Amino acid sequence: MNALLETRGLSRDFGGLRAVDRVDFSLMPGEIRAIIGPNGAGKTTFVSLVCGRIEPSAGTIVFDGADITALPAHRRVRLGIAYTFQITSVYAQLSVFDNVALAVQRTLADGRSQGRLRAGVMEALERVGLADRAWLPAGQLAYGHQRLLEVAMGLALKPRLMVLDEPTQGLGDSEIENFIALAREIAASATVLLIEHNMDVVMQLAHRITVLEAGRVLAEGSPDVIRTDEAVQRAYLGGGA
């Protein structure tokens, strides 16, 4: 089986700082992959490169066999890459329904089918547990629910790759359990790339874990391998953020 996503020598410099440093990375279809590491390790910069929000300084990005390094973010969305932000980016004045509708419209060929539009929106909201809040202004949602709204907006795009940046931030314990179930459900039809600081979530969900430190891949492997890796213990799991 060929990789869905690959990066080769991917790097990003900000002035004199190299935030991502020659990262080779491979993600298989249907996989749930977690990226972990200390603060400042380059995690969000790496997924921002994958999604086209920033341009690489060097290296290539290949999605489903095609070089997408130069493609803008909106073209990558059309290819099936959906991304939820580390900081919520919902439209606070619009209703929860209308936020998701903006995403659903991208998947409708003519953009005019109201029945299909409504069905697509409500399906996404039901999956994240927000259907009963559909007509609230998005800005009135609790922070954790705004994160779930972003997930619904991503799901509405019918993605092949779902990139989630700190999705459980602001969620309560019961909501985290629901998110874990949701992520497994998403993985039945899409590949999931997850940045997450909650190690319980990471260890429960991830098939494989990639550990970044100072913009480089420090270690990669199954949860059991990562849990017992001495270098990872020193840099992150046992040593702090």
Query: Rounded distance, CA 153 to CA 124, Å?
Result: 7
Residues 241 and 127 in one domain: no
* CATH code of the domain containing 24: 3.40.50.300
Residues 68 and 103 in one domain: no
Contact 215, 227 (CB under 8 A): no
Residues 117 and 219 in one domain: no
Query: Rounded distance, CA 144 to CA 150, Å?
Result: 10
Residues 164 and 58 in one domain: yes
Which of 66-75, 78-87, 109-118, 221-230 comes out lowest in average pLDDT?
109-118
Number of domains, the chain: 2
Q: Give pLDDT, residue 241.
A: 37
Residues 174 and 223 in one domain: yes
Residues 76 and 97 in one domain: no
pLDDT bracket for residue 115 (50, 70, 90) = confident
Which of 22-26, 31-35, 181-185, 218-222 comes out lowest in average pLDDT?
181-185
Residues 119 and 189 in one domain: no
Please say which residue of 107, 130, 157 terminates a domain.
157
Q: Give pLDDT, residue 32.
A: 97
Residues 126 and 56 in one domain: no
Q: Give pLDDT, residue 232.
A: 85
Q: Give pLDDT, residue 237.
A: 61
Question: Is 0.85 surpassed by the pTM of this model?
Answer: yes
Q: Give pLDDT, residue 111.
A: 53
Residues 71 and 184 in one domain: yes
Please say which residue of 157, 190, 213 terminates a domain.
157
Residues 17 and 69 in one domain: yes
Residue 167 clears pLDDT 60, i.e. is over it: yes
Residues 153 and 227 in one domain: no
Q: Give pLDDT, residue 42.
A: 94
pLDDT tens string 51-79 = 999 999 999 999 999 999 999 998 998 89
Residues 41 and 113 in one domain: no
pLDDT bracket for residue 109 (50, 70, 90) = low
Over residues 172-184, mean pLDDT = 90
Q: Give pLDDT, residue 240.
A: 42
Over residues 130-157, mean pLDDT = 92
Please say which residue of 157, 179, 201 terminates a domain.
157
Question: Which residue range forms the structural domain that includes residue 101?
Answer: 89-157
